[in-house]
Amino acid sequence: VQLQASGGGLVQPGGSLRLSCAASGFTLDDYYIGWFRQAPGKEREGVSCIDNSDGSTYYAESVKGRFIVSNDNEKNTVYLQMNSLKPEDTAVYYCAVEWVKYSSPLQALDVMSREYTMWGQGTLVTVSS
């Protein structure tokens, strides 16, 4: 079971990036994928979550209206489209999986933030001019 986040890079303020979270060893169809980020000197925070069983989503206020999470179950991949990027979006971005069904993606994201341990290397997003 493995998740691989990729797609980060350097982008100017106002620009866009699309991150990918590719799963191997299991299929995403019935589970939650959460996106997290950790900026230098700050704690990891959850930014978005998608329930791959029904497509429902959650966004943190800081990214709502700018980020879009989506899935491609045929490719076993979840994407995070990041638009109108700001310098404060600079962080290492991680994805995580939650197997248990909860009442909402927000609840699943909260569980992942407290209990998920299989954090990979993440992908670095730098927003700077």
Sheet of 77-82: strand order equals 2-6, 17-24, 77-82, 67-72
Read off the pLDDT of residues 108-129 as tens digits, 9 standing for 90 and up: 999 999 999 999 999 999 999 9
Can you give the pLDDT at residue 59?
98
Question: How do the pLDDT tens digits run along the chain, 129 residues long?
Answer: 899 999 999 999 999 999 999 999 999 888 999 999 999 999 999 999 999 999 999 999 999 999 999 999 899 999 999 999 999 999 999 999 999 999 999 999 999 999 999 999 999 999 999
Can you give the pLDDT at residue 1?
83
Q: What is the DSSP string of 65-114?
A: TTEEEEEETTTTEEEEEE-S--GGG-EEEEEEEE-S--SSHHHHHHHHHH
Can you give the pLDDT at residue 107?
96
Can you give the pLDDT at residue 84?
98
